[in-house]
Amino acid sequence: MKTALVTGSSRGIGKAIALRLAKEGFRIILHGLRLSKGLETTQYELKKLGVTTIITCFDVSNKVAVELACGSFLKKIKKIDVLVNNAGISKDRTFIKMTDEDWDDVIKTNLYGTYYVTKQILPNMKKNGYGRIINLSSIAGERGAFGKANYAASKAGIIGFTKSLALELGKYNITVNAVCPGYINTGLAASIPEKYRTQFLSQIAQSRIGEPNDVANLVTFLAGSESSYITGAVIDINGGWL
């Protein structure tokens, strides 16, 4: 049985990815910042599918916490086949109002978090001669976004990280790809004022908001054997955002 670690998998896109991978037969390591009702609910839904799960809780922006938690579950599970770096936050402000804390928190969680977790899981993949690393970036990392200088910078960094790591790991049978969602129906999207939602939809060729399962389907493909010749790719999933 193959094992996938999905960070930030208590809700939204991360939860959809965990459930979708489980349906493909993966054992799932669920992750959250702390034990929450959402994380327990996700585990319950996976158990109903007959899927083996482990819950791990740690702050991806804390190097020591990442090292301790990953070290703990790697003692129980000897092979991690798939790593999905999904955990992330946003703290939106126009740049002139953005504080150092706003900047640091988002960069540390989104970019450093991807680095810290990958750093711990990669030796296991190299040892086993196989791996799929899938990093969640964003359309904001490609185009920028108003009031999201910190978020866009973190997601652009993930793209550069993905492309560089792919060059290093190809010879080890490890692929590294990034997925860039557009406007997806998550809790974050629901907080966007109606006038802006209407504006966003007018720029999308399919004239609809995406669903977490749309992203999960793409991630599941990248996690499988049929994507073995895809690495260093940055794949948009945005309904044709013009």
Tell me the per-residue pLDDT of 6-43, one tens digit each, with 9 for 90 and over. Answer: 999 999 999 999 999 999 999 999 999 999 999 999 99
Query: What are the φ and ψ backbone dihedral angles of 15, each rounded to 5 degrees?
Result: -65, -45
**Global pTM value:** 0.96
Q: pLDDT, tens digit, for every residue of 61-104? A: 999 999 999 999 999 998 999 999 999 999 999 999 999 999 99
Which of these is catalytic: 116, 151, 183, 196?
Answer: 151
Which pLDDT score, from 0 to 100, does residue 155 have? 98
Q: Is 151 a catalytic residue?
A: yes
On whether the CB atoms of residues 18 and 42 are closer than 8 A, the answer is: yes
Distance between CA atoms of residues 231 and 157, nearest Å = 17
pLDDT at 242: 78
- Which domains occur in the chain, in start order? 3-184+212-237 (3.40.50.720)
pLDDT the model gives residue 188: 67
Percent share of the chain, pLDDT over 90:
90
d(CA 69, CA 224): 26
* Pick from 137, 6, 116: nearest CA to 61: 116
Distance CA 189, CA 149 (A): 18
Mean pLDDT of the chain, nearest integer:
95
Beta carbons of 83 and 134 less than 8 angstroms apart: yes
Three-state helix/strand/coil letters over the chain: CCEEEECCCCCHHHHHHHHHHHHCCCEEEEEECCCCHHHHHHHHHHHHCCCCEEEEECCCCCHHHHHHHHHHHHHHCCCCCEEEECCCCCCCCCHHHCCHHHHHHHHHHHHHHHHHHHHHHHHHHHHHCCEEEEEECCHHHHHCCCCCHHHHHHHHHHHHHHHHHHHHHHHHCEEEEEEEECCECCHHHHCCCHHHHHHHHHCECCCCCECHHHHHHHHHHHHCHHHCCCCCCEEEECCCEC
Would you say 137 and 159 are in contact if contact means Cβ atoms under 8 Å apart? yes
